Chains A and B, each alone.
Chain A
Amino acid sequence: MRHSWWRWLLGVIAVLVIFLPSVGWMQQRITQYKTNYRTPLNPTIMVPGSSASQNRFDTLITQLRKETKASHSVLKVKVAENGQISYTGSIRQGDNQPFIVIAFENNRDGYENINKQAKWLSLAIKDLVKTYHFNHFSALGHSNGGLILSLFLEKDFPQIKHVAIDKLMTIATPYNMESDSTTTRTAILKELVAGRSNLPKKLTVYSVAGTENYSSDGTVPANSVNQGKYVFQNQVAHYTQITVTGDDTTHSDLPQNKQIVLLIRQYLLQENLPAKDRYQRPSKNQQRSITGETGLP
């Protein structure tokens, strides 16, 4: 065997040429799986507005349960002024779309309070992630609840690792507080606009306004809701404004308004609604499989 060392060398080179790149490829794939992985648990976090308790969404939840024919379990969370978190209800085993309502002991209105509430929200969400191990969620905010969520998304959310928010729906959220002005910005709007680049880039936002007349839902001016565009537009993946009129469109009725319930089902819970109930989608959502293209035929 004259050439035997030659063949051995060739064999070793061949093995290395296959082996080394494949190890690199493997590590890259695994990181990819880890970043693309989404837990089956996909809660909807609901934040009520000022002066409302953790029971604010009960009517809405009853209605959603009845209409979706799914018994979404409900976990109610209350954060005390000192940051202490108390829970009522539970997430049922096997329920992947539970509702989590987060309310605050100090539920007063005002710039200072809303900023504090955003801090408390982040405490609660961190605790929930640690307990239930979900890595993505959707959120629903009514009135000032939308402000709390938006502030949280800009300030504390980027610091929470490995958790993503898919969709945010705010109902009658006064981005410019009680101001009807389209030019002067209140402190909270200034703050939201200043921090808007911290918003998650893949987020889809729906801002729903109700109007009793041409300018207001009785409490929040339509112009104030409209100011949301200065926060979200061009910052998140999609920002959609929807205005609902008709029966039950006063500010406090909005969460149980029939049209809004349908919007919640369609956009937040991603149900397939019958065509007659459906709102025209702004864009097609494509679900990607976590196995990507390596999946075999």
Chain B
Amino acid sequence: MGRWQPLRGLWRINQRMEQWRAMRAIKEALRVAYPFILVMTLVDVVGQSFLASSGFFYQIYHIGSWLPGIDLWQQFFQALSLVVNGVVAVIVAFTTGHYLARTYRGDALAVGVMSALAFLSLNVNYDMLGMPNSESEGMSLFVENNLGPQGIFLAIVVGLAVGWLGSHLMASLTNWQQRHPRFGQMSWASRVAWPTIFVLIITVALGYGFSWFTDGGMNDLVYQALSAVVVNPGHRGFMILGITTLSNILWWLGFIGPVSLAGNSSVTSLQNLAYAVQHGSGWDAPNAVTLHTLGDAYANFGGAGMTLALLIAIGLVSKQASYRRVAGQTFLPNLVNLNEPTLLGLPVLYNPILLIPFLVAPAVNIVLAWFAITWKLVPPIVYPVPRTTPGPLIAFLGTGGDWRALLLSLVCLTISVLIYIPFVRLLNHEGGEDHAA
């Protein structure tokens, strides 16, 4: 095989983690959730990049001006996307609990529903309770944001916890009943009902407790803490590097998007824009090195972790049929920076082998861009670009069409692909020969 020595160690870690019950449950849960997320993302691709007025293709093809009934289309796709996108974390909570219970030979379906309910109970809008006429005032019953992709981490945690607790509770009820037959036969319904009550009491208490600290449920607490760290990395390159890496680790864990690509409207970006408009170009813009000019422009192709490069690397060297399939299916979403299906479908999440390039590739790109900008090889991006702009074009369009920026983007993409390739090769050994294409 002749594998490089450190990679062999990594492979061993991977093999060991594969043995963990929790890891297997997460993998299976994400595998089941993947088709739904894929459908949702494809809907989002059309909705966000072609039909939304801030979408990239909407703008470059001027879709609003020739597509009849644009409002109708927008609303239609919005509704479609809400259905799956809005509850994807609930799906993940269900499937995680389901698979964990299955490994314990418990009642998988019942435990799955239990964990979905437990997850929901953590995201009830507790502020709304106790308010008269709250529904007529338009307050929602759940903290809806947390039921979407950003709730996936919590969903996994809840799924694992409830999957374990629920299966054990149900098993011990059965045991207890067999040991004490004098109390009579317990129905299936009550074997499910009692653990459910127990689990829900715990989660509601937790959720209610957390609502004292924050309005947005438990998720929001974590997000607030992270955003506080992440919100303003300033101009220091190392800080930007650290924050991007931290953010990518969080993505890998299932915290989708505490650092969002919202740099267009930050104060520093607006100052840069004002400068560029007055001087005709972004050279010597006042804030040349920011999270936006480095991270958003050069280290976010496909989304967090340069997943566009991962897909290309898979296309080039992967022999895993399932990988190649997922890469093909999620290429279009990655082109417009919607990489959730790739993260959940391969999965990248909780994959120790892919974690390394997932962190290293963006970091290397940031360093490259940092040097290139400080040495005045490329101007920083100054003009706002839509969020759904294909990654390699962001820098080119954002600098007002500077060819050097396009070149740097392509260099970054190539380097990222090269960084991903050895790890994708390593994954070719996964699952033995029978999985190979």
Contacts and interface: CB of A to CB of B under 8 A. Distances in A.
A6 interface: no
Given A22-B60, A34-B277, A37-B278, A293 B397 contact: no
The listed residue with most A CB atoms (<10 A of its CB), out of B61, B277, B389, B397, is B277
Contacts of B262: 296-297
A33 B387 CA distance: 18
Contacts of B401: 23, 26-27
A41 to B, nearest CB: 11
Nearest to A29: B383
Interface in A21-46: 21-27, 29-30, 33-34, 37, 39-40
Given A22-B397, A26-B397, A293 B383 contact: no
B393 A19 contact: yes
Nearest to B398: A26
A29 B59 CA distance: 10
A296 B400 contact: no
A9 interface: no
Contacts of A23: 397, 401
A291 B384 contact: yes
B341 interface: no
A40 B277 CA distance: 13
Contact of B277 (A19, A27, A37): A37
Nearest to B266: A296
Contacts of A26: 383, 397, 400-401
A37 B265 CA distance: 15
A278 interface: no
Given A294-B264, A295-B264, A18 B390 contact: yes
Interface string A267-297: 0000000000000000000000011011111
Contacts of B56: 22
B271 to A, nearest CB: 10
Given A27-B401, A33-B277, A37-B277, A294 B59 contact: yes
A21 B60 contact: yes
Contacts of A201: none
Given A22-B397, A30-B383, A291 B60 contact: no
A24 B62 CA distance: 11
A39 to B, nearest CB: 8
Contacts of B400: 26, 30
A293 B384 CA distance: 10
Contacts of A25: 59-60
A133 interface: yes
Given A19-B393, A21-B60, A25-B59, A293 B54 contact: yes
B390 A33 contact: no
Interface residues of A, number: 24
B53 interface: yes
B270 interface: yes
Interface in B367-393: 383-387, 389-390, 393
B230 interface: no
Given A21-B60, A295-B264, A33 B393 contact: no
B274 interface: yes
A30 B53 CA distance: 18
A112 B405 CA distance: 58
A152 B72 CA distance: 49
A27 B385 CA distance: 12
B70 interface: no
B250 interface: no
B231 to A, nearest CB: 15
Nearest to A25: B60
A119 B61 CA distance: 47
Contacts of B386: 294, 296
B261 interface: yes
A296 B385 CA distance: 9
A295 to B, nearest CB: 5
Nearest to A22: B60
B273 interface: yes
Contacts of B384: 291, 294-296
Contacts of B277: 33-34, 37, 290
Contact of A296 (B54, B383, B393): B54
Contacts of B276: 33
A296 B397 contact: no
Given A23-B401, A25-B59, A25-B60, A291 B393 contact: no
A172 to B, nearest CB: 38
A133 B385 CA distance: 27
Nearest to A20: B60
Interface string B249-290: 000000000000111110000100110111000000000000
Which 3 interchain pairs have the tightest Cβ spacing?
A37-B277, A21-B60, A25-B60
11 contacts: A25-B59, A25-B60, A27-B401, A33-B273, A133-B278, A291-B264, A294-B54, A295-B54, A295-B384, A296-B54, A296-B263
